[in-house]
Structure 1
């Protein structure tokens, strides 16, 4: 775990990603205001989709070990992680990766090196990556898609929606039903 804006974050350290991203649900903890990017960015996902990114949380606080640093986080529709640390941030902080040991070493200027230890769990053999799935589908293998929703935590609060948080005076505390039809 890393700490972003004083909240523990489940992080993916991805040297294949040019930029760093934050999941939409995790943006509720953002300590900075959402700003437009200097340019629009088309982001290619592992599933082959391309999505448009146009905003960023600049200079968000990140704590690695006991050392505070800052990171630019682009909000993105991520499911399994709170943040993705890309090469923009990894290169700035002189990160070296040991894939076999699942360790990332950060060389922080003027301070002791910090080693971040990744999860060492073994995934079940029934879990395969999106890239492997695409390869199998190209070979005409059969596939079944299951859409599973966790119904235990389905309550969405207004303050969890970033647009509502930015304009609290526009949205009422309680919604009393649908708006009347306007003709």
Structure 2
């Protein structure tokens, strides 16, 4: 069988080999997959829609994650390299980078991936879904309860002796803006951020 495979940059490549019943191992979980070798680069595998559909894979483009149901759990692949429990690293590359790999003569297994829109299901934006926050959860608490702990380095701004404050006209705010500002200042004062 000869297959005409359309690449992400629009070129069509002829493929006449299918390697059937391969095993794809994600976090020690085996998955069956058929592969089509395409000369491209150092990429190992590009997974196609047929495989993604067979395993009910969910691609969350906004968070750059891929979820694969496995029994009662979900295997989650993050593009940023974080390694939480049952998570693995997923490299996402652009069409231009794919083309560079192909020009270098790298071998690629090609597939076409599209995003599936799910109606009526909107995930609430949560702080722990932000990729950089995964690595530093202690830095981003749900509620700021007070001033940060005392640091070893003391920071201060030394003022010029006998310097007077800069004379400026007070801000003029609409009553609603003034009310909002006073509420914010009161909240910050209650938490100890300002005195």
Provide TM-score, normalisation by structure 2: 0.40
More helix by share: 2
More strand by share: 1
Q: Higher relative contact order by CA 8 Å / sep ≥ 6: 1 or 2?
A: 1
Provide TM-score, normalisation by structure 1: 0.42
